[in-house]
Amino acid sequence: MLHIYELVDLLNKQNCKPYYVGGCVRDKYLGRKPSDYDLTVEALPEKICEVLNAAGLTPDTDGIAFGTVTVGTAEGLIEITTHRKDGAYKDSRKPETVTFTSDLSQDLARRDFTINAMAMTPDGSLIDPFNGLSDLKKSLLRCVGDAAVRFEEDALRMLRAARFVSKLDLEPDPDLLAGMKQRAAGVAALSDARVGSELTGMWLSDHPEKGYRLLVETGLWPVLFPGLNIDSDMDALASMPRSLVPRLSFVLWGQSTNPVYQFLRRMALPKNLFDDVLLVTTAEKIELYPDPKALRRQIRTYGDLLLDVVAVRSARGEDMDSVKTIVQHELDIKSCVTIAGLQVSGDDLMELGFPAGRGIGITLSYLLDRVMDDPALNQKEKLLSIASEFGKTEGYLF
């Protein structure tokens, strides 16, 4: 499979005039390895398809109406888009029409932020008509042109702004802030999938508190998540493990049930994450103190999510250091906290003489309680001896 530079060389030799554009250019000047690549070209989409087909490649033309052809490379799927000008936008999301142009600067002028409106020639020369590199060096997030217009065209750009300030540790430009405040209502119409995709990137960034603060200060937060209170200690969010469950649980801690459900639905979380966050947020008042016996019982309920509970409560000012050490140790040694972890089974009890029925389940639960108090008891012979005594006491054995 060809590499991106080989694709660019192929397009260049066929006079398609390709340019690297957007995030890959930005990442180059940040000293980061690009996570993906996009190309913009002067040639029309039909010409791109001809060139790719002639090279034995199979382009995806689903986006050809917007000038985009997609092809697989060793670096992943690459979108190749003809320089274009966007027409009027519909539903604050996509342009109704596009016009192809040979003018690269017109293509860059339609983009969201200056740091994403830079292009680079195959030989590495920078095209930067909106001073994106200067903004990048100043850690500034600024819109191309009037921010309110950019956000009216596409409301999702406001959530992208929250993601970028978090991911790249940027400060929002005053015009960008004003534009978000003016167009905040527009995010109400965005799909849950779009909201979840952008904000997941924000929550998992190095500085999630910056995006959170931006959403609050511009009035987007109550539009996206009505009824959800605003946390006063946003900076503590950055101290949470870089994972959705603890970070979302931190934000949702102590909130009313209905807004929590609405938040999780708006984030379009998979069911397993949805359930995990709900479980952690119920642990606000459980007793956690540095006693291995008690903590093993909490692990039985929460599993390794107990570490997320500990992280949230620690970030909120509780002294959880000793608790965290014990929980981590119990998880590391895989302490027996479920019936499945016992060294005896129902079949073993039946061989001992227990009749089939609920008595076996009751006995196994009793054995688990004993083992959680004293893990050293989790040996088959010891457990069978305890079970025998218990069975006789309870009338299961005679």
The DSSP annotation for 224-285 comes to HSTTPPPPS-GGGGGGS-SSHHHHHHHHHTT--HHHHHHHHHHTT--HHHHHHHHHHHTTTS
Enter the DSSP assignment of 121.
Answer: -
Residue 256, in any domain of the structure: no
Last residue of a domain, one of 76, 107, 138: 138
Classify 390 as helix, strand or coil. Answer: helix
Is there a domain that residue 29 lies in? yes
Predicted confidence at residue 1, as pLDDT, reads: 81
Same domain for 322 and 344? no
Q: Which residues contact 131 (CB under 8 A, 6 or more apart)?
A: 114
Q: Are residues 351 and 302 in the same domain?
A: no
DSSP class per residue in 33-86: --S--EEEESS-HHHHHHHHHHTT---B-TTGGGTEEEEEETTEEEEEEE-EEE
Q: Is 148 exposed, middle or buried (0-12, 13-18, 19+ CB in 10 A)?
A: middle
Is residue 20 domain-shared with residue 79, that is, in the same domain?
yes
Are 390 and 297 found together in one domain?
no
Instruction: Tell me which of 280, 301, 332 is where a domain ends.
Output: 332
Q: For residue 181, is it within any domain?
A: no
Contact 394, 352 (CB under 8 A): no
Q: Is residue 233 part of a domain?
A: no
306/358 same-domain check: no
Decide if 304 contacts 279 (C-beta within 8 A): no
320 and 353 together in one domain = no
* Cβ neighbours of residue 127 closer than 8 Å, sequence gap 6 or more: 19, 104, 105, 108, 118, 119, 120, 121
In a domain, 296, yes or no: yes
Pairing of strands 140-141, 98-100: unpaired
Whole-angstrom Cα distance, residue 278 to residue 258? 12
- In 3D space, the residue among 92, 95, 138, 81 whose CA is nearest the CA of residue 114 turns out to be 138
- Quick one: pLDDT at residue 230? 86
pLDDT for 322: 97
In angstroms, the CA 116 to CA 163 distance is 13
pTM of the model: 0.87
First to last CA, the chain: 73
Which 8-state DSSP code applies to residue 188? G
Closest to 80 measured CA to CA, from 125, 39, 135 = 39
- H/E stretch holding 20 reads strand 18-21
Residue type (1 letter), 296: R
Q: What is the pLDDT along the chain (398 residues), one digit of tens a residue?
A: 889 999 999 999 999 999 999 999 999 999 998 888 999 999 999 999 999 999 999 889 998 988 999 999 999 999 999 999 876 666 656 776 788 989 999 999 999 999 999 999 999 999 999 999 999 999 999 999 999 999 999 999 999 999 999 999 999 999 999 999 999 999 999 999 999 999 999 999 999 999 999 999 999 999 999 999 887 788 899 889 999 999 999 999 999 999 999 999 999 999 999 999 999 998 988 999 999 999 999 999 999 999 999 999 999 989 999 999 999 999 999 999 999 999 999 999 999 999 999 999 999 999 999 999 999 999 999 999 999 999 999 998 87
Of the residues 96, 122, 138, the one at which a domain ends: 138
CATH of the domain at 62: 3.30.460.10
Let me know if residue 309 belongs to a domain.
yes
User: Does residue 90 share a domain with residue 56?
Assistant: yes
Inside any domain, residue 234: no
- How many CA atoms does the CB half-sphere of 82 hold within 13 Å? 22
Q: What is the CA radius of gyration of the chain?
A: 29
The Cα–Cα gap between 158 and 183 comes to 9
Domain identity same for 325 and 382: no
Do 301 and 354 lie in one domain? The reply is: no
C-alpha angle 150/146/111, rounded to 5°?
A: 45
* 111 Rama class: left (phi>0) / alpha (psi -120 to 50) / beta: beta
Task: Indicate whether 324 and 358 sit together in one domain.
Answer: no
Burial 315-339 (b: 16+ CB within 10 A, else e): beeeebeebbebbeebeeeebbbeb
Clarify whether residues 59 and 124 are in a common domain: yes
How is residue 258 written in tokens? 């209905």
CA 243 to each of CA 240, 272, 277, 325, 345: distance values in angstroms, whole numbers, following the listed order: 8, 14, 11, 20, 36
Work out how many domains the chain is built from and give that number: 3
Q: What is the pLDDT of residue 66?
A: 87
Domain assignment present for residue 152? The answer is no
Length of the chain measured in residues: 398
Task: State the residue range of the domain holding 353.
Answer: 339-394
Helix (H, G, I), strand (E, B) or coil at 100: strand
Do residues 17 and 64 share a domain?
yes
- Sign of the dihedral defined by the CA atoms of residues 72, 73, 75, 81, in that order: negative
User: Can you give the pLDDT at residue 92?
Assistant: 57
